[in-house]
Each structure stands twice: as structure tokens, then as C-alpha cells.
């Protein structure tokens, strides 16, 4: 991708990384940032009360090269980003996961070029390759449960065709981030990327997908070792919080009650398969955890 001739030689970019027990990956992420060309970087890392050696590692390795904010509690993803954004000095904000790697030394400037080629873009993202799953995560063209909505009109007439981008790597203008008040702090982890993308569109901007800019993303690094049920419950709570916030009440209740009935049926057959030893015990447990987490979150929403 060619950088437009009207762009300044160097773009000022604030990169925000929220870290939680990802010492294994974050140095690779930051090292890839300092290899970027055509940008003047301010790197802000918020450590969400990690209990690994993240803080010591960051202090020893980068010293004055990064702005390290140490939180005494786990603020969650959105609140930590919002905290860092209050210190941002760059014209652009790059929201980057600590387990992401910019494999191209011009990735950031190319994202900026892609965004600035159209006045309509409010946020853009690259192609995200997940090596463990051997797949590229592409943007979503619809919102959760959107096709089942009947009484929700909020999503009609939104700019652009992309619904939302994965939160592992998002570029926006600092002014736009502040215009929409950043992430909704009610989302702790999961669902906040869907929400901010929708609010970007509600503010009148389209989302852009720079498919020839590619990064690598481990995915789920901060959740390694987490109990399966608890991990799925966090995901489903974020998922349903988005629905509760943006969809009509009658749509949510109708859809979620149908989900609950389906889960109970699936759990019956899953337990039957377990008794008859038709599936591996580990498979049974993983699927049961996922279904039970969805059931819990759904019942919470109904109540």
C-alpha cells in the first residue's frame, strides 16, 4: 500500500496496550512497535495488576521508552484503555493487544494511509492471522443475533457495510475516540469491541478493513489457564450486555428464551452421550461448560 503524498512524513501515534499476565508475549509486541517506520510513537502500557513478572520485565527492558501505568486492580479492558487515553498525545490511537505482533515494519503507517484515504472512516483494522488456529479473522458483517431482530430499529441505515472489527488491533483518531467517550466501562472483558464499533457507526463513521495489512495474534493469552466455565461466562455476559444495551426489550426476551430452551435440550443429549460414552470426557466437559455458561448469562439477562 502506498502512503498518500499529502500525508506528513511522520504521523504521531499513541499505542495503548492493556497487559494482564502476558509477560510471555508483550515484549515481542513492543519490539515490533519500535521497528515501525514513518511514525512517531508514544507507547502506553496499562498493567492490570498482573501477578506474573510483567511489570519488572517492562521496567527493565524499556525503562523510559514506554509510559507504564500500574493499576492496583484489574480494571478490565475498556476502563484500562480509557485510562491510558487520557495520557495520549498522538493524533492517532492504536489499540493493540499484548499478544499481537506487527510483522510488517510499515503496518501502522499503512493503516493510517488506509484510514485517511476516506473521510468516512472512523476506525480501521488489519487482517488478523491467528497461527494457533491457522486462520485469518475477518471483520463481521452483522451484530450478534441481528438476523433475529424484529422490533429493533437502531441498526438501520448505519454507514458502511462492516458491523465490527476484532479488538486485537484497532486504529482510530484520538479525537474520535474522545468524541464517543472511548470504551463503555460496563464491559469488563469481551463485547467491548462490538460495542465501540457500533457506537463509531452511530456517530456517523464507517469501519474500514485494510486486508493487505496483516498482523499476527495469539488470541486469549490473558485467559491462559482460566477455568473453562468462568471464561465462557465472561464471554457470554459481554455478549448479552451488548444485546441488552442496544436491542429492543421484546427482541431480547423472545430470542434469549428460545436460546434457553435450546440449551436445555442440548444439555440433555450431551449428558446422554456422556453416559453412553459416545464422546470423550474432555469434549463433554468443554461443551457442558460452554452451555452452562450461556445458560447462566441468559437467565441473568431474563431476570
Residue with the three cell numbers 490511537? 93
Query: Hey, what long-range contacts does 175-179 have (CB within 8 A, 24 or more apart)?
Result: 175/91, 176/122, 176/123, 176/200, 176/203, 176/205, 177/85, 177/93, 178/85, 179/203
Percent of the chain with pLDDT over 90: 81
Question: Domain ranges in the chain?
Answer: 11-223, 228-302
In whole angstroms, what separates CA 72 from the centre of its chain? 23
| pLDDT tens readout for residues 74-99 | 999 999 999 999 999 999 999 999 99
Q: What is the pLDDT of residue 224?
A: 56
CA-CA distances (angstroms) from residue 59 to 1, 9, 27, 177? Answer: 35, 31, 11, 28
Q: What is the pLDDT of residue 90?
A: 97
C-alpha cell at 38: 514513518
Of residues 148 and 3, the one with the higher pLDDT is 148
| pLDDT tens readout for residues 269-278 | 888 888 888 7
Give CATH superfamily name and number for 11-223. Answer: Spore Coat Polysaccharide Biosynthesis Protein SpsA; Chain A (3.90.550.10)
Q: Provide the whole-model pTM.
A: 0.90
179: exposed, middle or buried (C-beta count within 10 Å: 0-12, 13-18, 19+)?
middle
Q: What is the dihedral angle through the alpha carbons of 73, 79, 84, 85, rounded to the nearest 10 degrees? A: -170
Of residues 268 and 199, the one with the higher pLDDT is 199
Reduced to 3 states (helix: H, G, I; strand: E, B; else coil), residue 98 is coil
| pLDDT tens readout for residues 202-212 | 999 999 999 99
Amino acid at each position: 500500500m502506498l502512503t498518500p503524498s499529502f500525508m506528513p512524513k511522520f504521523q504521531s501515534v499513541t499505542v495503548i496496550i492493556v497487559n494482564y499476565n502476558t509477560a510471555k508475549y508483550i515484549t515481542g509486541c513492543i519490539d515490533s512497535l519500535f521497528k515501525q517506520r514513518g511514525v512517531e510513537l508514544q507507547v502506553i502500557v496499562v498493567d492490570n495488576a498482573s501477578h506474573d513478572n510483567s511489570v519488572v520485565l517492562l521496567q527493565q527492558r524499556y525503562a523510559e521508552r514506554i509510559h507504564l501505568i500500574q493499576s492496583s486492580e484489574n480494571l478490565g479492558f475498556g476502563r484500562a484503555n480509557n485510562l491510558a487515553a487520557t495520557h495520549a498525545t498522538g493524533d492517532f490511537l492504536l489499540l493493540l493487544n499484548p499478544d499481537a505482533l506487527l510483522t510488517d515494519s510499515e503496518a501502522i503507517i499503512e493503516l493510517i494511509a488506509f484510514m485517511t484515504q476516506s473521510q468516512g472512516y472512523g476506525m480501521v483494522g488489519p487482517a488478523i492471522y491467528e497461527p494457533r488456529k491457522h486462520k485469518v479473522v475477518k471483520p463481521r458483517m452483522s451484530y450478534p443475533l441481528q438476523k433475529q431482530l424484529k422490533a429493533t430499529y437502531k441498526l438501520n441505515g448505519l454507514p458502511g457495510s462492516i458491523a465490527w472489527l476484532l479488538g486485537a488491533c484497532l486504529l482510530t483518531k484520538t479525537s474520535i475516540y474522545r468524541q464517543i467517550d472511548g470504551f463503555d466501562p460496563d464491559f469488563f472483558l469481551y463485547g467491548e469491541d462490538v460495542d465501540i464499533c457500533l457506537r463509531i457507526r452511530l456517530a456517523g463513521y464507517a469501519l474500514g478493513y485494510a486486508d493487505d495489512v496483516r498482523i499476527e495474534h495469539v488470541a486469549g493469552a490473558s485467559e491462559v489457564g482460566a477455568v473453562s466455565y468462568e471464561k465462557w461466562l465472561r464471554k457470554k455476559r459481554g455478549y448479552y450486555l451488548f444485546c441488552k444495551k442496544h436491542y429492543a426489550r421484546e427482541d431480547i426476551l423472545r430470542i434469549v428464551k428460545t436460546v434457553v430452551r435450546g440449551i436445555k435440550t442440548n444439555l440433555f443429549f450431551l449428558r446422554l452421550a456422556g453416559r453412553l460414552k459416545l464422546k470423550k470426557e474432555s469434549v463433554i466437559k468443554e461443551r457442558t461448560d460452554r452451555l452452562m455458561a450461556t445458560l447462566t448469562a441468559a437467565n441473568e439477562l431474563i431476570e
